[in-house]
Amino acid sequence: MRRIAYRFLICFITGLIGGILMGCTLMSTLISYRIDKYHEEIIKLKTHIDENDAKYNKLKESFDSMNKKKFLVSDIEVFLICKDNEEDDFDKMQLEKYIKDRYQDLLWKEVKNIDMDLVVKLVDEDVYRIENKDYKLGVNRVLISDVFKIWVTVKQID
């Protein structure tokens, strides 16, 4: 009887070890296959990005060479002046995004063709709501060069 018990124990342990080894081998094969697929996709996306960057640079160079004599707005910077100093960073980021979205049409326009009165009135005396808080915006200063800079006063309305 003991002989059968030892054979059964050896057979059980051998099967358990064999099953663990086969399971580990199968899992590592599946995981390595997925990792290879992800690496392949990453490489495809990197080449796609490189191609688009090259196209963008060529387009920008040709655009710059065509418009050397023209002075164009290439970027927008927003400076917030908070009156109450109670605004948190999330609200400031939302306000900056809102103002940048309002002035998005100015990008790549010629500076001498921009009407300052319309630019100022676009955000001046505006009321913007963020989660039950109303903010009144007022334009302090505007500077238009290759970078459009605007200083906006922000006051929370009770």
Per-residue pLDDT of the chain (158 residues; tens, 9 = 90+): 788 888 899 999 999 999 999 999 999 999 999 999 998 899 999 989 988 888 888 878 777 766 666 778 888 999 999 877 666 778 888 899 999 989 988 888 888 889 999 999 999 998 999 888 889 999 999 999 889 999 999 998 87
DSSP code per residue over 42-79: HHHHHHHHHHHHHHHHHHHHHHHHHTTTS-B--EEEEE
Residues 88 and 49 in one domain: no
Count: domains in the chain: 2
Six-digit token string for 85: 């100093």
User: Using the 8-state DSSP alphabet, how is residue 110 labeled?
Assistant: B
Boundary-marking domain end, from 25, 43, 69: 69
Q: Are 24 and 86 contained in the same domain?
A: no
Q: Are 150 and 139 in contact (CB under 8 A)?
A: yes
Token pair listed for 129: 């709501």
Note the pTM of the prediction, 2 decimals: 0.58
How far is residue 151's CA from residue 140's CA, in Å, rounded to a whole number?
Answer: 5
